[in-house]
Amino acid sequence: MPTPADALLAATSHLPTPLAILDEQALWANADDLVERAAGTPIRVATKSVRVREIVEQTLAREGFAGVMSYSLPESLWLVEHGVDDVLLAYPSVDPDALRALAADDAGRAAITLMVDSIEHLDVIDAALGSGHPTLRLCLDVDASLRIGPPGLAAHLGVRRSPVHTARQARAMARTIEARAGFELVGLMFYDAQIAGLPDTSPAVRLVKKASNAELHRRRRAVVDAVSQHAHLTLVNAGGTGSLETTGADPVVTELTAGSGLFCPTLFDGYDAFEARPAAYFALSVTRCPSRSVATLHAGGYVASGPASDSRLPTPVWPTGLSLLGTEGAGEVQTPVTGSNARHLSVGDRVLLRYAKAGEMCERFDTVALVRGDGTVEQLPTYRGEGKAFG
């Protein structure tokens, strides 16, 4: 009986490999799931997890999504040029050329909110633009990690982002921004990586995530109250694909962010709150069969960012029963696979793989083949295919 993987490979058989593939039915079913899990809280589209402009635009046109979360200031300006009118830049920018372009762009300044977490970021902007620059919208990145133990000795559970962790620190930053010409603080961001980005792999992980969520609910309220004494907040952004239900339940949160949940890469398998529906794949061709138990694929060294481990490697998913070789992994120009079905592969056959993360896969391809339910295919340019590389 044909499988969805068979259908994807059949629909794209006329296209050369290596080939990125999107299952349109799974993609939009995932979008609907995200909206349902958000339970009425608007979702920003995390562009770093998509990197296909047309998919970003089609997602924004769907009910429940509003605005994008970008990862680069040049990217943000480019998206505004293409009609996106609400951009929250998730990371501080120290790019003087891009800052000058923003200051000179009325539409850009109206649409883009810059991220800061220290006075040094204000200094960088002032140094690039000089005194008397137009007012720029700012969002304060607040560290959402969980700290267990006494100050100075506490264990840090989460990513290393902002130095601003407490309500007192956030209030001090807000007071500084309030007193400084050329800046307006309009938002707060709390990215709970230890909840949103961590699969539910054990009772201990579930306990930590529950404790972190409870701590964040208390601390977010305190930070919002403290900052509101010095700023008129129009957005409080939080959460990610893995924490939409819990974070969206916090009444101080005005919006959520998700992107990886559209594609559902392998790092998003294993969550209790939702069942991953893979939508993004890539296909490689068999170019040699060095033994009965091994088939070698062309290219495939698409290793995801993060700690160097097997979790960052791509996973062969069709035919079933294949795995990478531990001695070679995913290679720069060839990737051997072994397993129960390797002996049935012949030169010219295709193997379907899943990437470990989401949008990073698109940095390897100029186009993605969007496969519709009726088997028709549309090739969409990635950021790379439009000649853009934003880091």
Residue 376 maps to which CATH number?
2.40.37.20
- Same domain? 197 vs 282: no
Give yes or no: residues 328 and 217 share one domain. no
Residue with tokens 């958000």: 38
Tell me whether residue 342 is in a domain: yes
Token digits of residue 188: 């707060």
Q: Are strands 322-324 and 367-371 parallel, antiparallel or unpaired?
A: unpaired
Residues 186 and 44 in one domain: yes
> Could you tell me if residue 48 is inside a domain?
yes
Residue that terminates a domain, selected from 235, 260, 285: 260
Q: Is residue 16 part of a domain?
A: no
Burial of 290 (0-12, 13-18, 19+ CB in 10 A): exposed
Q: Domain check: are 208 and 303 in the same one?
A: no
Render pLDDT for 43-60 as a digit per residue (tens, 0 to 9). Answer: 999 999 999 999 999 999
Residues 246 and 376 in one domain: no
Q: Within this chain, do residues 94 and 229 fall inside the same structural domain, yes or no?
A: yes
CB distance 196 to 243 below 8 Å: yes
pLDDT in the model for residue 1: 44
CATH number at residue 166: 3.20.20.10
Are 296 and 290 spatial neighbours (Cβ–Cβ below 8 Å)?
yes
Residues with Cβ within 8 Å of 311's Cβ and at least 6 positions away in sequence, in order, are 266, 267, 356
Q: How many domains does the chain have?
A: 2
Q: Where are the alpha helices (DSSP H) in 306-348?
A: none
Contact 174, 225 (CB under 8 A): no
Say whether 88 sits in a helix, a strand or coil: strand
Residues 6+ apart with CB under 8 A from 228: none
Among 209, 236, 260, where does a domain finish?
A: 260
* Domain endpoint, select from 260, 294, 328: 260
Residues 84 and 172 in one domain: yes
- Check whether residue 312 and residue 366 sit in a common domain: yes
Residues 229 and 82 in one domain: yes
Provide the whole-model pTM: 0.94
- Which residues of the chain register pLDDT less than 50? 1
Residues 100 and 249 in one domain: yes
Angle subtended by helix axes 119-129 and 167-178, to nearest 10: 20
Does residue 41 share a domain with residue 98? yes
Q: Are strands 155-157 and 146-148 parallel, antiparallel or unpaired?
A: antiparallel
Residues 6 or more apart in contact with residue 180 via CB below 8 angstroms: 122
pLDDT of residue 147: 76
Domain assignment present for residue 4? The answer is: no
Q: Which domain holds residue 380?
A: 276-384
User: Is 357 strand, coil or helix?
Assistant: coil
Q: Which two tokens stand for residue 376?
A: 């028709």
- Other beta carbons within 10 angstroms of residue 250's beta carbon come to 20
Is the residue at 115 inside a domain?
yes
pLDDT at 153: 61
Look at residue 303 and tell me if it is in a domain: yes
Instruction: Please give the full DSSP string across 24-56, using - where no structure is assigned.
Output: HHHHHHHHHHHHHHHTT--EEEEGGGT--HHHH
Q: Where are the beta strands (DSSP E) in the chain?
A: 19-23, 43-46, 65-70, 87-89, 112-116, 136-142, 146-148, 155-157, 183-190, 235-238, 255-258, 280-291, 294-298, 315-318, 322-324, 334-339, 350-354, 367-371, 377-381
Q: How far apart are the C-alpha atoms of 278 and 47, rounded to whole Å?
A: 18
Residue 5 counted as domain residue: no
Q: Is residue 265 part of a domain?
A: no
DSSP H/E element including 153? none
Query: Quick one: 241 and 326 in the same domain?
Result: no
Distance between CA 26 and CA 16 in Å, rounded? 23
